[in-house]
Amino acid sequence: MSFFDNLKDKVSKGGAAVGSGAKYAVEMAKLNAQISGKKKVINDTFNKIGEKYFESVADNAPEEFKELVETVIESRKEIERLNDEIKKLKGVAVCPFCNSEIESESRFCSVCGKELPVADSEGDFVD
């Protein structure tokens, strides 16, 4: 057996011995958990960088970011619309004078006391 064949033989046997057993499994799980933790830190940090960048360029994003910025703006609008739908489902309206959430059937705002305009069947105030 040549020196290199001998070496290859030792390395492959060594690899097989290291890559097995309960201790190996525990160490492997620990290391993988640490890697997952660090990946989460990176992802959270990327999110923060993205949010800060978004807030700083939202109105005037460079061309390469325009589509991404637009996606965030559109998604935020959609969330607002969906939250309005939830309010309607819950029978909640928003007082046009003080912005408090109130029952959509009320004639007067329970917070500021002002007389409310008439609300339609969906809880939106009509003029």
The site for Zn ion (CB under 5 A) is made up of: 95, 97-98, 100, 109, 111-112
Minimum distance from residue 127 beta carbon to Zn ion (Å): 17
The residue (of 61 and 93) whose beta carbon lies closer to Zn ion is 93
CB of 79 to Zn ion, least distance (A): 24
Of 61 and 109, the one with the shorter C-beta distance to Zn ion is 109
Query: Nearer to Zn ion by C-beta: 50 or 113?
Result: 113
Query: Cα(127)–Cα(118) distance, rounded to whole angstroms?
Result: 7
**Residue-wise DSSP of 11-64:** HHHHHHHHT-SHHHHHHHHHHHHHHHHHHHHHHHHHHHHHHHHHHHHTTS--HH
